Amino acid sequence: MYLYDQYDQAMVDARVEEFRDQTRRRLEGKLSEDQFKPLRLMNGLYLQLHAYMLRVAIPYGTLNSRQMHMLADIGNKYDRGYGHFTTRQNIQYNWIKLEEAPDLLADLASVEMHAIQTSGNCIRNISSDHFAGAAADELVDPRPYAELLRQWSSFHPEFSFLPRKFKIAVIASDTDRAAMKLHDIGIQIVERDGALGAAFYVGGGMGRTPMVAPCIREFVPLDQLVPYAEACLRVYNRYGRRDNKYKARIKILVHELGKEEYARQVEEEFAHLLSQGIEPPLAELERIKPFFADPEFEFGLPTGIDRSDPDFALWVDRNAVPHKAPGYVSAVISLKPVGGIPGDASAAQMHEMAELTKQYSFDECRVTHTQNIVLPHVKIADLHALWTRLDAAGLANPNIDTIEDIIACPGLDYCSLANARSIPVAQKISQRFSANGRTAELGELKLKISGCINACGHHHAGHIGILGVDKKGVENYQLLLGGSEAQDTSLARITGPGFDEPGIVDAVETVTDVYLRERDAGERFLDTYRRIGMEPFKEALYG
């Protein structure tokens, strides 16, 4: 994985000092809260219902054991012994004191980590495929390109006060595991006539006006990635709406201009920027690539699995994913225990995951946008030992991509913008399906919950989505069906009138009953919905 050199370290250290200085000026009253807010936001510090929340960047979701140990230590030292992994492949802490935040950032910097640009109207942490470097279907590892863009976007002088936040994802396979087309810019590394380049999708997003990004250029040569991205951003910075924060995302600009006109303006800017010599040297990409080279996989490893223990066999079926190297798999650690808080991990669990990362996965793990952890390179022969350790730590939930593998935002339990709680709904749904034993039968079923229209829980992209709304002061939940964030990206549609909390849990069960009744062989919930449409589900819910 990528390691800092003296330049990267100096940048992060300078940032810690800058923030220490800003915090001092705030505490001394030299900065008003209005002036301090954008500065703390650019360091990942939000003021929430009960305390400050700090969001730590995990570039393209990749961590080593030392970093995971530090995340655990931070949970103990500055929070209440927990961390919360999020849909942006980051980690959040919910109980931070402002006075301690500079020390926390210094601790992070000591393991090559930071909270830079994890919030605010700037280019955010860049996300990627959580199976990068392990997936059999990828063209190349997308992370060197993500790292190149990480550097370019860090402290970008022109793009630190954009109309709104800006999120970039980079993938390099046709299977999309990063919700690429639901980002402000989605980049897919592609091959044309034997050369690599990047397809740019611009103007996707969730929030109150969800949109799937259109492709605005099918091929940007690799040495022009940065000028092209810069052109996309400059057009947005100059013309994105600033009169209404709900219309300020780039998706609205692309939508209002039309993708052709937006693309035309980008091309014009791009041609100009090419004359400015702003692209990083190709040698830099070549320097970055070896950091992401394959670890030394062993050859001739056994591939058989002893399935005599049914619990272990179930976990393997659900949580182990094929790998490009024979004898290996990627193992997904579910942070979705039945009745638990999706994405939460205790400090003790993080320490254990760090140990397992070191022992079984070439010292590398990943955070997924589905709020789980991946050990990307595990020997099949080690799986049983790994599972035994995970089980002892309460981390062996066999439920990846099932209805129990719920994405949920913090909701009204923590978030000041929430209309309704998300976490208790997630807890009750996983309990319901664990108790009725249907989880396995339902197979792949992606359920996503947001506590308000901002859609942090990706409800638009759920096979089943749940959206918390406020109905005359009472928490109410709308049900949505048919979304997908994969390569077949689609936006979910609302079924009809909402439900109260017990009602939404029943409603989820009702729609799964319709699926079980109607499905053809081999169909997932999403496939059945797409074939039969909304009506049969509505009929069962409201008929």
| Nearest by Cα to 133 from 376, 348, 352, 333 | 376
Q: Is 290 in the site for other proteins (CB under 8 A)?
A: no
Cα–Cα separations (whole angstroms), residue 37 to 30, 31, 160, 167, 339: 13, 9, 14, 20, 35
In contact, 462 and 448? CB cutoff 8 Å: yes
Q: Is 280 in the site for other proteins (CB under 8 A)?
A: yes
Site for ligand SF4 in 350-379 (CB under 6 A): none
Spatial separation of the C-alpha atoms in residues 226 and 242, rounded to whole Å: 25
Alpha helices in 80-224 (DSSP H): 101-109, 143-153
Binding part of the chain for ligand HEM, among 270-278, 359-367, 411-419, 462-470 by CB under 6 A, reads 411-419
Spatial separation of the C-alpha atoms in residues 311 and 314, rounded to whole Å: 5
Task: List % helix, strand, coil for the chain (3-state, nearest 5).
Answer: 40, 20, 40
In the set 204, 210, 342, 451, which binds ligand SF4 (CB under 6 A)?
451
| Nearest by Cα to 495 from 484, 513, 507, 503 | 507
Q: Which amino acid is at 318?
A: R
Q: Which amino acid is at 236?
A: Y
In the set 152, 515, 529, 537, which binds other proteins (CB under 8 A)?
152
Spatial separation of the C-alpha atoms in residues 59 and 153, rounded to whole Å: 12
Place of tokens 């589905």: 370
Q: What is the DSSP string of 304-352?
A: -----SHHHHHHHHHHEEE-SSTTEEEEEEP---TTS-TTEEEHHHHHH
Binding part of the chain for ligand HEM, among 9-17, 87-95, 105-113, 130-138 by CB under 6 A, reads 87-95
Q: Is 160 in the site for other proteins (CB under 8 A)?
A: yes
Place of tokens 């069960």: 509
- The pair of structure tokens assigned to 374 is 């991946």
411 binds, among ligand HEM, other proteins, ligand SF4, none (CB under 5 to 8 A by kind): ligand SF4
Q: Is 5 in the site for other proteins (CB under 8 A)?
A: yes
Residue number with the smallest Cβ distance to ligand HEM: 207
Per-residue x/- mask for ligand HEM, residues 321 to 360, rule CB under 6 A? ----------------------------------------
Return the number of the residue (338 or 417) whose C-beta is nearest ligand SF4: 417
In the set 276, 304, 473, 522, which binds other proteins (CB under 8 A)?
276
Least separation in angstroms between CB 47 and ligand HEM? 9
Q: Which helix (H) or strand (E) holds 11?
A: helix 6-27
Return the number of the residue (107 or 485) whose C-beta is nearest ligand SF4: 485
Q: Is 185 in the site for other proteins (CB under 8 A)?
A: no
- Identify any residues that bridge with 211 across adjacent strands, giving them in sequence order: 205
In the set 86, 334, 422, 495, which binds ligand HEM (CB under 6 A)?
86
In the set 46, 200, 499, 515, which binds ligand HEM (CB under 6 A)?
46
Spatial separation of the C-alpha atoms in residues 511 and 502, rounded to whole Å: 15
Spatial separation of the C-alpha atoms in residues 243 and 37, rounded to whole Å: 20
In the set 206, 250, 447, 467, which binds ligand HEM (CB under 6 A)?
206
Q: Is 161 in the site for other proteins (CB under 8 A)?
A: yes
Spatial separation of the C-alpha atoms in residues 394 and 352, rounded to whole Å: 11
157 binds, among ligand HEM, other proteins, ligand SF4, none (CB under 5 to 8 A by kind): other proteins
Q: Is 456 in the site for ligand SF4 (CB under 6 A)?
A: yes
Least separation in angstroms between CB 112 and other proteins? 15
Neighbours of 281 (CB within 10 A): 9
Binding part of the chain for other proteins, among 18-26, 411-419, 477-485, 509-517 by CB under 8 A, reads 18-26
Return the number of the residue (119 or 265) whose C-beta is nearest ligand SF4: 119
Where do contacts with other proteins occur on this chain (CB under 8 A)? 5, 7-8, 10-11, 14, 17-18, 21-22, 25, 30, 35, 38-39, 121, 151-152, 154-162, 226, 234, 237-238, 242, 272, 276-278, 280-281, 283-284, 287
> By the criterion CB under 6 A, which residues form the site for ligand SF4?
409-411, 415, 417-418, 450-452, 454-457
